[in-house]
Amino acid sequence: MSSTVSKKKLALKVVVSLAFFSILISFVQGNELALMFSQIDWFYLLLSLALSPVMIVVSCLKWKMILDSGGSRVPFTTLFRIYLIGYFFSNMLPSTVGGDVVRSYYAGKLINDQSYSAIAIFIERFSGIFFLFFLVILAPLLLPALYQSPYVLVPIAGSFTLIVITLWIGKVKDPYILPNKVVAFALKAFGKALSLVSYKKTDHLLATINKQYAKFMTRVESLHEKLNLALGTIRKDKGLLLRLVLITALFYFLTWVNVYVAFMAFGVQHQFFHICALVPTILFVAHFPVTILGNLGFFESVFVFYLLLIGIPATASLAMGLLLRMKMLLIGIVGFFVYMAYKQETGDDAKDLPERN
């Protein structure tokens, strides 16, 4: 990726982030937000702050579980430090080097196997995302009326589609034959339709579409390869899959509690299961990387928008979202100091890593 393209993407994300925050501010009165923070419940605030390291511990245990399964024994405290460093890169820097890349690199040096380190990160991340797809579909059962909302049904349809695509890519030996035939047929039909209306740039348009499709298929092929390697790793340890499911379920339970306790810090009491019904959908939508620094602005906007569906005022949701953001920043600051100390110990500078695509 060229430096110019990277800078343009960064600039666009900054603009989008500011736009989302402008929209958020229009939803609430500044004095209402300030009032909520002035009346914060310190017990629940401290409890909310305490939940963050607990969630990181669970994520590190999952990561260590996968590394241990491959025979790579890395001390938990070391992985915890590296995880904090990755958090710093993901949530504090507008960098092209992602936190997962940093974690994979540092862990790979420790186990002398960059390939398995990358696969371990992939299994850790993808298992969480794949589990989330099912939660998006099933969690609204806790509040069935949500199935009537198109804002919930669209993510459900997206999750179901992604589950099917993932299973197709993972199970079929050559998953590219069918989509290639479908796309070739569609482009041929599209080209004929353009020729009927005498469109002058038909060849150029079709070439552009083909180029973008080729880039997309390159990513699909990479996913196919990673899935096969991940499945091969899981098959070697028959108990690993069950352990992954259990610890991933624990992480999402803590995520629900994290949101609920953050609301309690502002004196907002809402039914826990109603919040649980929507949080997976919120996380699914908020995963799309449209702004900088951990989706700054967009992340909070998604919470505000979706929680209105269950009657939580925009001001309360924004206050809660800002508290979650504050906790991300605090962990990122801790990650910065851990990174500086780790860099001095090892001599490695993660900023020298290759850019991610």
Q: What is the DSSP string of 120-141?
A: HHHHHHHHHHHHHHHHHHHGGG
172 inside domain: no
Minimum mean pLDDT range among 167-171, 244-248, 276-280, 291-295: 291-295
Cβ distance 278 to 285 under 8 Å?
Answer: no
Examine residue 220 and state whether it is found in any structural domain, yes or no. no
Number of domains in the chain: 1
The answer to whether residue 222 sits within a structural domain is: no
Give me the pLDDT at residue 163, please: 96
Domain for residue 188, yes or no? no
Question: 32 in a domain, yes or no?
Answer: yes
Q: Is residue 160 part of a domain?
A: no
Give the list of residues 6+ apart from residue 70 with CB closer than 8 angstroms, or none.
116, 120, 233, 236
Residue 119 lies in a domain: yes
Answer yes or no: is 61 within a domain. Answer: yes
**128-155: pLDDT as tens digits:** 999 999 999 999 999 999 999 999 999 9
What pLDDT digit, counting tens, does each position of 258-313 carry? 999 999 999 999 999 999 999 999 999 988 776 666 667 788 888 999 999 999 99
**How distant, in Å, are the alpha carbons of 48, 52, 320 from that of 326?**
11, 11, 10
Give the domain extent around 7: 3-141+236-352
